[in-house]
Structure 1
């Protein structure tokens, strides 16, 4: 209750106190006092936490008693009219003290206009024309499909969504001549400053005179005044708005684009029967050709993008590819709010249908996502992408995996464990090799966010299977991945898994897999106990020093040197540690032992292709020299 008293109105607080209602929203700060006697608040929907707006009409205010029928008319019309360009109704709470209408989150056009002054001139013009296009569509629907007159078209009756879209509201006097209660004819003058948007015929004969004219007559004139107001917000109303209503002159154009100025003059025609209607304006603006003064809507880039988004799923693949190229090439030029709340939801939704476009759409989502504020990135970008991991479409899966480096850091551990991993692991057993390999590469990025249970059990079982994969590149990458995972595995897991896994890679017929096995041993050098180094690691690597490929041999000698040096350091700390000279004999002994193990079970050649002999002086522990000792031949075919 204190929250409501701090931020809400007295009417809302009284509503809760007297009625005991459980409001479906949490009221936030007051945003605006609308000219049409509504107070606008930011709010949060209780059941899902989504952002909404609340329009509050105080029924207890004595000044509002005469306009209560208008408030109820607005509620009735808003509740019944559903159109993409009309303010979206969600819920309402009514009592004896107030009417609270909950809608989508919006802010009034006057506030948005003041905030758009910092935009570049061409960006602001594009946004204004796009907005006027949407209002023209909404008015055309009301005039033609609903056979109604809005009667209150002005900046305060238009609201802007977070995406920058214009939505028509202000339905206080919206009337159909066939309605039993057509409030515009009897109560149109009760709206504050009603004559500001009234056409000449109303100023001469009152609101009831509209019965004699087309339902679009008043709205067409008000649309012309709105056009002037948004392009010239600091200018007074054009002279044509006052008697004797002279036609607009070129000198009054101000910032109105020259392309739409001819239509602007026709909207303000004092003759109602010859006046341009919102539908006429829409037709002229959407005409591809027709000479000067046409096409000002159809060539607007925001209008074109919205049309492309709305029809994307029904377009051919070639049209989709062309549209996506257009988005990609002009991504940086769109207003941030338009990209975040209008383009992104549409192209993410398109991914649910899969197809060849996924490879283009996912990078595009991430490209537009760079403009999203950090607080909203997880909601707008991460949540939809994570959801797509459950898609059975392979094109979508490979697109997500290929672009994972762009958003992996933004994933939290809980999301990876609970939502990504259960779907991602199916890629290890996919019948398409590209998916299996991309899944292996993805684990490198996600491994820091996997739980110990997944790392030491589920993941290693998948990798053990992939070490025998038919694709050599997958076997190689699997070995590389195990090498990278080595330091974070559990102690017992390291001792059981690493040596067998890397030793298996050393026997792989693919040269780069064998190289990966040697390098994996080196990358995980600190993971092995010194006893394992001497008894298991070095003997496993020594055989690779005589590999048929020089690339493997060179790397194997480096690995042997690395591990033997570690043994040497450890041995120097032992009691009666051998001298460096005596330790050299140990190196050669281990090399010989490794070679012997490598050739065990194979038939020895009687004609060696190459022999390496090594001689070294030996010493006993008491310091006596044994002279020269000759090592047997290391043979490779």
Structure 2
């Protein structure tokens, strides 16, 4: 197996497949090794190419033989324990020589801690408290709901998702006293550095002593050690690790937050019966009125945001407004991965519910979307927004149309034609005027992405009806839109549509609609043949030169002047007939006999 590993992940996949194993993933780069237990690889799923992680356990490694039961226990527990804060199991490949466990894409906590060491103290504290909150929730679930002891809470058993969330893993010795195959009581000491993380009762009486205790105290003590190690990575272990177990002194607090320190000491109580459980630690941290030393989780901004996002659909309008205001004010200070992979998906999910909040949520989605890489923008931001065009909720539709300028350029032409236009065109016949008007404005931004069939047929039919809308602003904007579309229309369509459309606007009772008609004529001057200018356009405009509104009259004279100059320039370029040739033609048309009587009248 070492030989295979040295060949590289691609060769491993190839050789394993040749041996008859159908891997559901393609191994990528090796991330790290966990003592003699697991090798962690980045990988991709074969069916959809999505990123995953793969844990490899080699049965043939000499140092792994005693720990094979622990590896099998880790697989069994990971398969059965499902929780948002637990490492997500996806698939497994197991043979006589190797176990491959596929999970969501993660990286080990120690690597993440190194990257966060350069952050400011405030940012780092926020992130650590948020992570400890998630691990406390996971441990409370393992202890209370699963009636089990994790037994391996340390930095190497915690993993970070792409969103920055902490996930509990390391289930090698996770056991329940009711489980006949429980391994922690007999094999807990086989974990690397087991005694360094063991609680005082284990150091005193061995791992089998845990079977006589409650399931939570051992994990509580490990949680205290974890808390100390993430806040004070360069400090020695707390004094409670060795007899006579003196309580931590304030001078040893280091970077541990002041509010957290009292609970930290209770987690390290050498008496398991008096030790604070992870569930109680979580409750005190989330309490808001329990007095001094409480609320260290509930006051954390990342915890607040996550809690608010998780309960968004159930919250009151006041709670939703408060959360959205917090997101808007703090957007730039959130960790990039938290903003892109935690906040953004939750906002998009909340947006699907529509309602009054849609107008506030969509700008936030686009704001957080600025941090998304260009190659991911289409799938992360545009795909959910495109689906929302099918929503019947008017608040959602209005928000999409109002903010279209921010994402219109990134839309693909095929997507606009196939997925947006079928739903967008329903806005032309909406009973709410603001939706109809917003739909007209939206077409201006999307017109270059519409195909010829839509431009020259479907769209113009809708606009013809919109020119008779009861709302004068909609009629005005429709005329302006047709003027902008003019140069992109087909030749025959221009000749049939533009003059009647703009002439209709010149007869509109709304003054600005008439002005829009004149300006549209001027803007599309290159779309008209000279014959149409002379025979249709100028006669149509001339009536507005005596309009009762000065604004219209002034614009009419400008329009007439523009078209007359255009015709003058054309007339000057026309071919002239020489004077001698004109005389010959004249003679052919009029005989001398016909001229004589007239000339006689001219004689003196």
- Secondary structure at the aligned position of 1:398 is classed as helix
Match of 1:90, SS state, is strand
Written as runs of structure 1 = structure 2, the 5 A alignment for 1:57-76 is 57-76=57-76
Partner residue in 1 for 2:205: 205
Q: Is the 8 A contact 2:131 2:166 kept in 1?
A: yes
Q: In the TM superposition, what is the alpha-carbon distance from 1:7 to its structure 2 partner? A: 4.5
Question: 1:114-165: per-residue Cα shift (whole Å, max 9, x none)?
Answer: 1112322111101100110110111011111111000000001001111111
Contact 2:10 2:27 survives alignment (8 Å): no
Q: Structure 1 residues 368 and 463, CA, compared in 2 at 3 Å: closer, same or farther?
A: same
Post-superposition CA distance 1:416-471 (Å, at most 9, x none):
11211111111111111111110000011111111122111211111111111111
TM-score by structure 1 length? 0.87
Asked if residue 15 in structure 1 is aligned to residue 24 in structure 2, the reply is no
Cross-structure match for 2:387:
387
* Contact kept in structure 1, 2:158 and 2:166, CA below 8 Å: yes
Question: What's the CA shift for 1:6?
Answer: 6.2
2:464: which partner in 1? 464
Query: Match for residue 129 of structure 2?
Result: 129
CA distance in 2, matches of 1:451, 1:64: 64
For residues 222 and 5 of structure 1, the distance between their equivalents in structure 2, rounded to whole angstroms, comes to 35
Deviations 1:258-289 (A, max 9, x none): 11011111111222221111112112111212
Residue number in structure 2 paired with 1:229: 229
Shift of 1:290: 2.6
Q: What is the SS of the residue equivalent to 1:179?
A: coil
Map 1:72-221 to 2 at 5 A.
72-221=72-221
Judge conservation of contact 1:4–1:27 (CA < 8 Å) in 2: no
- What is the deviation of 1:36? 6.2
Alignment check: 8 A CA contact 2:5 2:12 kept: no
Q: Distance in 1 between matches of 2:174 and 2:124?
A: 30
Determine whether 1:288 maps to 2:298.
no
Q: Secondary structure at the match of 1:55?
A: strand
Q: Which moved more, 1:101-110 or 1:21-30?
A: 21-30
- 8 Å CA contact 1:15–1:97 kept in 2: the answer is no
Aligned residues: 575
**SS at 2:64 equivalent:** helix
Within 5 A, what are the aligned runs for 1:128-527? 128-527=128-527
CA contact (8 A) 1:472 1:513 kept: yes
Q: Distance in 2 between matches of 1:92 and 1:294?
A: 42
TM-superposition CA deviations, 1:226-260 (whole Å, max 9, x none): 00111112223233323443321222211111110
Q: Retained in 1: the 8 A contact 2:440–2:477?
A: yes
- The CA deviation string for residues 534-585 of structure 1, in whole angstroms up to 9 with x for no partner, is 222222211111111111111111111111111111111112399xxxxxxx
Quick check: 2:515–2:555 contact (8 Å CA) kept in 1? Answer: yes
CA displacement 1:157-212 (0-9 Å, x = unmatched): 00111111111000000000110111011111111121221112212222111112
CA distance in 1, matches of 2:69, 2:577: 102
User: Per the alignment, do residues 11 and 207 of structure 1 end up closer, same or farther by CA in structure 2, a change over 3 Å counting?
Assistant: farther
How far, CA to CA, are the matches of 1:46 and 1:9 in structure 2?
13
Q: 1:577 to 1:376 in 2, by over 3 A?
A: farther
Deviations 1:265-323 (A, max 9, x none): 11112222211111121121112123221111111111111111111111222322222
Q: How big is the shift at 1:370?
A: 2.1
Measure the CA separation in 1 of the matches of 2:182 and 2:419. 54
d(CA) in 2 for partners of 1:187, 1:542 = 99
Root-mean-square deviation (CA), in Å? Answer: 1.8
Task: Decide which moves more: 269-278 or 162-171.
Answer: 269-278
CA contact (8 A) 1:7 1:27 kept: no
Unpaired runs of at least 5, structure 2: 579-604
Runs of at least 5 residues in structure 1 that lack an aligned partner in the other structure:
579-637
Cα offset for 1:5?
A: 8.0
Is 1:563 matched with 2:556? no
Residues 569-602 of structure 1 deviation map (CA, whole Å, 9 limit, x = unaligned): 1111112399xxxxxxxxxxxxxxxxxxxxxxxx
Q: Which moved more, 1:213-222 or 1:534-543?
A: 534-543
In 1, the alpha carbon distance for the partners of 2:295 and 2:523 equals 65
SS in structure 1 at match of 2:469: coil
Question: What is aligned with 2:582?
Answer: none
The answer on whether the counterparts of 1:5 and 1:13 sit within 8 Å (CA) in structure 2 is no
Stretches (4+) displaced over 6 A = 3-6
CA distance in 1, matches of 2:98, 2:497: 70
Q: Distance in 1 between matches of 2:200 and 2:246?
A: 11
**Under a length normalisation based on structure 2, what TM-score does the superposition of the two structures give?**
0.92
Alpha-carbon distance in 2 for matches of 1:10, 1:437: 60
Equivalent residues of 2:44, 2:51 under 8 A apart? yes
Deviates more, 1:173-182 or 1:114-123: 114-123
| CA distance in 1 between partners of 2:76 and 2:150 (Å) | 14
Task: Answer whether contact 1:14 1:97 (CA < 8 A) is retained.
Answer: no
Deviation string for 1:507-554 (max 9, x for gaps)? 111111111100001111111122222222222211111111111111
Alpha carbons 1:224, 1:268 under 8 Å: kept: yes
Give the SS at the match of 1:62. coil
Q: Which residue of 1 aligns with 2:591?
A: none
Q: How far apart are the structure 2 equivalents of 1:478 and 1:241?
A: 77
